[in-house]
């Protein structure tokens, strides 16, 4: 039940599964028995063909048949008698007869081959699995038998057949379910045997070579695929080995895996050396195999440890994998040590063996994967031995080897990068960066392979981020990210050569990095942009640590800080190289060194800063100054010489600076070195003096061996002799000195180390140092898919990247390369926008605009067709506008270039007609048929992406309409198919650009970008020139102005941002234009549209907007005259729509000024008066702020002789009617305001009234009788209908002086002046004098209270007297002769009835009385008697003289003083 069945067909579960299983088991047992029986028959049949096995023995031996045949026949008898299930039968019973045949050295190759095939078949029948009885012993029997297989060689082909069968069986063992029962030792034996066959196959057929190598690969895959399943129990065993290393160290080699049985083939028999016998491990094996066996037998590496017998006999796991992996690494080690064998093919030692070994290693790493890090011995093999070999083979001249090395490193990066930080840095610095550049002598093939590898790395999404975070941001590591990015950029540049595959490859890598950044943008951590790093105070830069390397909240600020420090150190190094003192001061200023220098900080600066001048460092360290000596001591203490050979330590020490030439300086330097070395590695040396002496000796030996001037070189004996008794009086071990001698002879200690930032070669001493550092380096930071450092990385690589993509795009000729470049451009744009790198985006736009070909000035006809035929230009154009639409928020100066392209399209007639109009019209609430001048190229009803009517016939559509016309007189005018296709492509391209969206969507642009767009439009329009400019320039300026107005209207909420620039641009146009033209028309009406649209929404800007309309007042007379009517219509529309939004005096002054101007313009006056009528008729719009201005404007219209007199009369009615507003305001003030506010408003109302009547006074002098007389009546209305307005008495006095008397005097002057233009002045004079009388009488009571009443009254009398005596056209007027006395009589009667005029005192005491009659008698002497019939004149005089003398003088004095005050008031009022 539950066991695996032989048949694997999918069947449904039956009713009685137990019975079914029993039946299947029975069938399977029969099948197996028959199969084994067939195999026995096959082996016996082949054996019988041999003379040795074909007949009976005749010698009388008891055994008639050979034991091999007998055992096979016995098996045959038994197999059908076994009734038990097969898994309960010991497999040795049915395998042993076959294995005996395989082991026998008497059987020939055909027999051995058949026996091996039989074993292979049995293993593949799935008879044996982990549950089978004694399976472990059986599997070991098979392995032992097959690996010690012996047979007679009859011919080469049969030998190869047997070797193939051995490979088959060994592989079947490893693939069998029972393979888990194999021990570590047996697995190693299998691999070793397989490799022997691989080696022997080198001199045999190609087929055997390929099969053996394939089998080796399969074996390695089988074994290492088991690694992820090895649990921690396995790990415990390995740890157990480590903890008992002292016990196992002395184990006999017999117990180490790869025992003598492996070395000698069959442990029980001696080799006879005959050529007729083949056995593995025979003396025929070359030194290669012997060396490899030796390597296997010694455990994991030079400092490795053989596993103990207990572990090697356990079911296989990590121990065998460690040994196999070490064995594979050793294959790489041996290549340099062995010679060419006579039977080996030549390729084996050039690239074949390394390639084979590297392929196996790659398979092991692919399958072991991340599980390797759980097993320290495997991991240490990879970290040290493997990587050291990879570094060596990475510089191989064979592209195949380099390619395989790069594949392995890529796999290692993927699975184990956290454990290989410094190894990866070394690989990129010493291999990839060296090979990928021709200056290091690499062949083109090497460069290409290195570049392919680099691109593969770049396609790993986190690779560059992790290189930057772990290496570029580490002060002890090189800037790998920066170097790789620069390499890709430079390698993409085709310099003086056509574009090659290498350039495209580098471009792919560059774009892979950029697209990786672009993909990370959506994953967060972009918006939370970190600020710049600053060091506020000194902290030891080499001590900076991170609290948590796995939490981005900790490691991101940490690496950014570390990168900042590294950059500052590099700058400090540059300063130091020019002046050491200033360099250190600079670092103190940036808080990288303490204010008071200490030796440790300076030593660490020297130790960890790249780019320092090593001569200067050497001089500083060798100086005798006490501080310098302390620095030297601290500098030596930064090195780790633990367990390091003296020569290796000395090499590392002297690599960091140039050893000074003076002996004293050398001594100081070597003393510091010796003290540190002795402290850490005192194993052989007795004291630090021994270290010092030996160091000196090595320096001298180095000079002796490697200085060409030394002819007689020091021998090994000389060196040993020179170093006698230096170790505390004793000699150092001879072997130790010999090793040092040969090391120095073979590899010079460079006392003048390499300067600068080149890519160093990996030397053994540097590798040892790297392994030391790797134990102490900071943990490897793993990056996730978020954009933590992309801003900083992109800032480094953006410039070279844009340049590289641009150059490739420029040189490319295939559309797939174009598309790659375009993808790169879009990714750069996305990153620039999301990380707010506006400068980068501008650079990109500038670069792309060059490729549109739109900026290239050429003839009219060529560009359109050329554009349609140029895929590159079309793609670049679409990309430019895609970027503008998507990422416009972050474009700044780039808008200028984009506008250049738009203008070029506009000039060619390629723009959709709606570009300028849509943007402006989008926010229109309703279309107005008289809305200024229509935009010349708008298609208002077209809402689809269509090509509109061109502005000029030279545009695309114009030309093609001509080409397609029915005029066939000239056949060549018909466009060709190619031209039509180019035309169609051009149309499609422009549609894809969505040029109009830039402007219609400008309301979504960020403020700074919007401002730059507006400035770019102003810049593109150019400064207007006085005089005639070219039509093309004007067309451009008009188009730019349209767009500028459009975006202004679209951004009404941000008008403050744009307004100043827009206003100044329009002002420049207005002030520089002297003749009517489309540009000034667009400017003026655009300005009016802006005001119309924005006044309702921007009350705080209303004054600013209205003030801008004063520009209209500054128009040149010819221009103003041309557009006056339309301007007035626009102003009228503005007033009607926005009157309630105009609140300020300044705003109304502008409006009324514009309206006043129209009063004398024939076409415009009607519209202007209409606007004034609207304001003054609706009481809601006539305000204290605009009252005086409106009255003044109305006066202008009333005085204007343009149009009918009727309009002047209507204007006068408006003026007269406005008194009602004054009355209402006065009434409201009394009811709603406080006393002080009310008094202030009353004063203001009085002044407004005075301005009103003064205005009417002026119209009273109009030449037209109707207007003049109506003005007088209106004035009378305004003077008499003010009962509700509480006007102060002083104001009335001003009114009489400034308005009534002046008006009467002026009319009198006109009447007497014989003016021909004035008709019927008599009637006007009558109305005027009546006005005087009526106003005087209405105000009599109030006026009588005034002290200056007498003077006022005399003024009235004198005017009446003058009007009575006036001569119009040389004769007195009868009507006036009648009217004046009558009016005077009424006045006197009124004065009498109100008690104003009466005799109050004795004769000569009442001046009013006397003066009145003095004047009246001049006018009408009889009036006194008529008015005062009861009084006699003499009597009156007498009484006056008696009673009023003193009173008169008092009153007169009082009057005279009041008169002087009144004169002052009148003066100021006037």
Q: Taking the CA of residue 271 as centre, how many other CA atoms within 13 Å lie in the half-sphere pointing to its CB? A: 19
Rounded to whole angstroms, how far apart are CA atoms 1121 and 1172? 20
Angle 1327-1329-1331 (CA atoms, 0-180°, nearest 5)? 70
CA angle 511, 515, 516 (to 5 degrees): 115
> Could you give the CA distance from residue 1466 to residue 1464 in angstroms, rounded to a whole number?
5
DSSP string, 89-138: S-HHHHHHHHHHHHH-SSSBHHHHHHHHHHHHHHHHTT---TTSTTHHHH
Tokens at 155, concatenated: 């011919």
Q: What angle do CA 493, 495, 496 make, to 5 degrees?
A: 150
Query: What is the C-alpha to C-alpha distance for residues 186 and 182, in angstroms, rounded to an integer?
Result: 6
Answer positive or negative: Cα dihedral of 301, 307, 313, 319: negative
Smallest CA-to-CA distance from 978 within 871, 866, 875 is with 866
Q: How far apart are CA 429 and CA 454, in angstroms?
A: 12
Question: Could you tell me if 1375 and 1326 are in contact, meaning their C-beta atoms sit under 8 angstroms apart?
Answer: yes
CB 1315 within 8 A of CB 1376: no
Sign of the alpha-carbon dihedral angle for 1164, 1167, 1172, 1175: negative
Contacting residues for 1303 by C-beta, under 8 A, at least 6 apart: 1257, 1260, 1261, 1275, 1328
d(CA 408, CA 382): 11
> What token pair was written down for 1379?
């009217």
Distance of CA 96 to the CA centre of its chain: 73
CA atoms within 13 A on the CB side of 778: 23
Distance between CA atoms of residues 1185 and 1222, nearest Å:
12
Residues 566-577 as b or e (16 or more Cβ within 10 Å = b): bebbbebbebbb
Opening angle at CA 655, ends 652 and 659, nearest 5: 115
274-288 in b/e form (b: 16+ CB < 10 A) is eeebbbbbeeebbeb
Angle at which helix 871-887 crosses helix 861-869, to 10 degrees, equals 90
CB of 309 closer than 8 Å to CB of 334: no
Residue 475 CB coordination number (10 Å): 19
- Dihedral sign for Cα 1339, 1345, 1347, 1351, please: positive
Q: Write out the two tokens for 2.
A: 């539950």
Q: How far is CA 677 from the centre of its chain?
A: 50
Element (H, E) at 1371: strand 1371-1372
Nearest-angstrom CA–CA distance, 123 and 125: 6
Give the number of other Cβ atoms within 10 Å of residue 156's Cβ: 13
Q: CA-CA distance, 444 to 945, in Å (whole number)?
A: 51
Q: Structure tokens of 1378?
A: 């009648």
What three-state secondary structure class fits 841?
A: helix
Asked about 662 being catalytic, the answer comes back as yes
Residue of 19, 247, 529, 662 marked catalytic: 662
Q: Which two tokens stand for residue 127?
A: 């008879």
* CB atoms closer than 10 angstroms to residue 992: 15
Strands 1371-1372 and 151-152: unpaired
Catalytic site residues? Answer: 662
């Amino acid at each position: 039940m539950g066991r695996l069945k032989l048949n694997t067909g999918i069947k449904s579960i039956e009713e009685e599964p137990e019975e079914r299983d029993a039946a299947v088991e029975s069938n399977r047992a029969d099948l197996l028995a028959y199969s084994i029986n067939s195999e026995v028959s096959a082996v016996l049949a082949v054996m019988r063909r041999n003379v040795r096995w074909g007949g009976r023995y005749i010698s009388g031996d008891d055994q008639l048949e050979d034991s091999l045949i007998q055992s096979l026949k016995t098996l045959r008898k038994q197999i059908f008698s076994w009734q038990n299930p097969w898994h309960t039968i010991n497999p040795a019973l049915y395998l042993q007869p076959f294995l005996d045949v395989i082991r026998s050295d008497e059987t020939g190759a055909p027999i051995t081959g058949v026996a091996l095939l039989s074993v292979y078949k049995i293993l593949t029948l799935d008879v044996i699995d982990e549950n089978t009885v004694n399976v472990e012993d059986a599997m070991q029997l098979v392995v032992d038998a097959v690996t010690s297989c012996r047979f007679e060689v009859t011919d080469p082909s049969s030998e190869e057949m047997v070797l193939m069968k051995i490979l088959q069986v060994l592989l079947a063992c490893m693939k069998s379910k029972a393979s888990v029962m194999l021990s570590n030792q047996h697995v190693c034996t299998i691999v070793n045997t397989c490799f022997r066959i691989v080696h022997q196959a080198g001199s045999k057929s190609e087929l055997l070579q390929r099969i053996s190598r394939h089998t080796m690969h399969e074996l390695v895959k089988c074994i290492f695929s088991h690694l992820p399943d090895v649990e921690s129990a396995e790990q415990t065993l390995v740890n157990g080995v480590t903890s008992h290393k002292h016990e196992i160290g002395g184990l006999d080699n017999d117990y180490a895996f790869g025992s003598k049985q492996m070395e000698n083939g069959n442990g029980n028999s001696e080799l006879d050396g005959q050529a007729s016998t083949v056995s593995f491990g025979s003396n025929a094996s070359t030194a290669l195999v012997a060396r490899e066996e030796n390597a296997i037998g010694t455990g994991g590496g030079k400092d490795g440890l053989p596993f103990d017998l207990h572990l090697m006999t356990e079911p296989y796991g990590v121990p065998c994998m460690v040994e196999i992996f070490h064995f594979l690494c050793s294959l790489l080690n041996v290549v340099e040590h062995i010679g060419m064998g006579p039977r080996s093919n030549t390729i084996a030692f050039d690239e074949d063996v390394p390639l084979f070994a590297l392929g196996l290693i790659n398979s092991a790493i692919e399958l072991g994967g991340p599980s390797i890090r759980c097993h320290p011995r495997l991991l240490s093999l990879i970290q040290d031995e493997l990587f050291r070999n990879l570094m060596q083979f990475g510089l191989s001249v064979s592209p195949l080897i380099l390619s395989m090395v790069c594949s392995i490193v890529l796999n290692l990066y993927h699975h184990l990068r956290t454990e290989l930080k410094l190894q990866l840095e070394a690989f990129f610095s010493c291999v990839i960066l060296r090979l990928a550049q021709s200056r290091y002598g690499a062949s083109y093939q090497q460069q290409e392979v290195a570049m392919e590898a680099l691109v593969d790395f770049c396609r790993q999404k986190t690779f560059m981020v992790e290189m930057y975070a772990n290496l570029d941001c580490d002060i002890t590591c090189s800037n790998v990210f920066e170097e790789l990015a620069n390499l890709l950029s430079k390698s993409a540049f085709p310099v003086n050569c056509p574009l090659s595959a290498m350039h495209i490859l580098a471009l792919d890598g560059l774009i892979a990095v950029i697209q990786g950044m672009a993909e990370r943008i959506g994953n967060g951590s972009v918006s939370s942009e970190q600020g710049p790093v600053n060091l506020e105070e000194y902290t030891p830069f080499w001590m900076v640590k991170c609290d948590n390397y796995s939490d981005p909240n900790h490691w991101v600020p940490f690496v950014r800080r570390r990168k900042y420090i590294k950059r500052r150190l590099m700058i400090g190094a540059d300063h130091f190289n020019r002046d050491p003192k200033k360099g250190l001061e600079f670092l103190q200023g940036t808080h990288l060194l303490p204010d008071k220098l200490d030796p440790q900080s300076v030593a660490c600066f020297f130790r960890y800063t790249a780019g320092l001048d090593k001569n200067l460092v050497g001089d500083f360290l060798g100086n005798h100054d006490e501080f310098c000596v302390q620095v030297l001591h601290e500098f030596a203490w930064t090195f780790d010489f633990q367990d390091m050979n003296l020569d290796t330590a000395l090499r590392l020490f002297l690599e960091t600076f140039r050893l000074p030439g003076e002996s004293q300086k050398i001594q100081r330097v070597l003393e510091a070195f010796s003290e540190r070395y002795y402290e850490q590695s005192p194993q052989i040396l007795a004291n630090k003096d021994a270290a010092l002496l030996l160091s000196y000796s090595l320096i001298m030996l180095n000079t002796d061996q490697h200085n060409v001037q030394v002819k007689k070189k020091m021998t090994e004996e000389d060196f040993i002799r020179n170093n006698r008794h230096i170790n505390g009086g004793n000699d150092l071990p001879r072997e130790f000195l010999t090793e040092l001698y040969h090391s120095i002879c073979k590899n010079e200690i460079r006392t003048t180390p390499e300067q600068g930032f080149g890519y160093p070669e990996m030397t053994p001493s540097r590798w040892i140092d790297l392994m030391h550092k790797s134990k102490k380096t900071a943990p490897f930071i793993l990056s996730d898919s978020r954009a933590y450092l992309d801003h900083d990385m992109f800032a480094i690589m953006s410039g070279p990247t844009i340049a590289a993509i641009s150059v490739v795009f420029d040189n490319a000729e295939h559309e797939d390369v174009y598309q790659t470049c375009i993808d790169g451009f879009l990714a750069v744009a996305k990153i620039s926008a999301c990380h707010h790198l506006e400068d980068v985006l501008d650079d990109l736009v500038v670069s792309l605009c060059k490729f549109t070909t739109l900026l290239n000035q050429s003839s009219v006809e060529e560009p359109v067709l050329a554009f349609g035929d140029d895929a590159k230009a079309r793609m670049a154009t679409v990309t430019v506008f895609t970027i503008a639409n998507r990422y416009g928020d972050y474009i700044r100066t780039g808008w200028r270039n984009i506008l250049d392209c738009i203008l070029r399209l506009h000039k060619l007639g390629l723009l959709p007609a709606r570009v300028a109009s849509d943007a402006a019209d989008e926010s229109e609430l309703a279309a107005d048929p008289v809305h200024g001048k229509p935009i010349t190229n708008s298609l208002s009803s077209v809402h689809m992406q269509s090509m509109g009517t061109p502005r000029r016939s030279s545009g695309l559509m114009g030309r093609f309409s001509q080409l397609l016309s029915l005029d066939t007189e000239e056949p060549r005018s018909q466009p060709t198919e190619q031209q039509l296709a180019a035309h169609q492509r051009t149309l499609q391209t422009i549609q894809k650009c969505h040029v109009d969206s830039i402007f219609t969507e400008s309301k979504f642009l960020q403020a700074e970008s919007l401002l730059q767009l507006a400035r770019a439009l102003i810049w593109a329009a150019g400064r207007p020139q006085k005089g005639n400019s070219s039509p093309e320039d004007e067309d451009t300026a008009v188009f730019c102005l349209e767009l500028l107005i459009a975006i202004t209207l679209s951004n009404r909420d941000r008008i403050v941002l744009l307004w100043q620039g827009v206003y100044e641009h329009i002002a420049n146009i207005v002030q520089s234009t002297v003749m009517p033209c489309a540009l000034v028309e667009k400017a003026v009406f655009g300005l009016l549209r802006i005001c119309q649209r924005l006044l309702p929404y921007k009350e705080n800007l209303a004054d600013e907007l209205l003030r801008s309309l004063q520009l209209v007042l500054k128009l040149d007379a010819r221009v103003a005259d041309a557009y006056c009517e339309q301007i007035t219509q626009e102003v009228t529309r503005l007033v009607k729509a926005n009157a309630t939004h105009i609140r300020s005096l300044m705003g109304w002054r502008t409006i009324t000024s514009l309206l006043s101007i129209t009063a004398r313009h024939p076409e415009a006056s009607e519209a202007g008066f209409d606007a004034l009528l609207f304001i003054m008729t609706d009481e809601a719009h006539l305000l204290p702020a605009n009252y005086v201005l409106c009255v003044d404007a109305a006066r202008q219209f009333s005085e204007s002789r343009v149009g009918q007199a009727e309009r002047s009369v209507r204007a006068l009615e408006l003026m007269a009617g406005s008194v009602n507003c004054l009355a209402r305001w006065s009434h409201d003030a009394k009811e709603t305001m406080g006393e002080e506010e009310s008094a202030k408003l009353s004063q203001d109302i009085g002044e407004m009234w005075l301005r009103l009547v003064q205005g009417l006074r002026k119209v009273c002098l109009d030449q037209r009788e109707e207007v003049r007389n109506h003005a007088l009546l209106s004035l009378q209305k305004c003077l008499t209908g003010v009962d509700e307005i509480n006007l102060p008495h002083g104001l009335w006095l001003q009114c009489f002086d400034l308005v009534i008397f002046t008006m009467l005097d002026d009319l009198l002057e006109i009447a007497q002046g014989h003016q021909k233009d004035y008709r019927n002045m008599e009637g006007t004079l009558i109305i005027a004098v009546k006005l005087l009388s009526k106003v005087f009488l209405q105000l009599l009571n109030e006026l009588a209270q005034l002290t200056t009443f007498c003077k006022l009254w005399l003024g009235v009398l004198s005017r009446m007297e003058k009007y009575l005596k006036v001569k119009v056209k040389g004769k007195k007027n009868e009507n006036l002769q009648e009217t004046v006395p009558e009016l005077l009589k009424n006045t006197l009667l009124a004065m009498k009835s109100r008690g104003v005029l009466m005799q109050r005192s004795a004769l000569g005491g009442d001046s009013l009385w006397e003066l009145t009659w003095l004047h009246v008698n001049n006018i009408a002497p009889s009036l006194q008697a008529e008015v005062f019939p009861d009084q006699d004149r003499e009597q009156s005089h007498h009484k006056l003289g008696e009673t009023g003398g003193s009173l008169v003088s008092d009153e007169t004095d009082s009057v005279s003083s009041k008169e002087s005050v009144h004169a002052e008031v009148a003066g100021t009022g006037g």
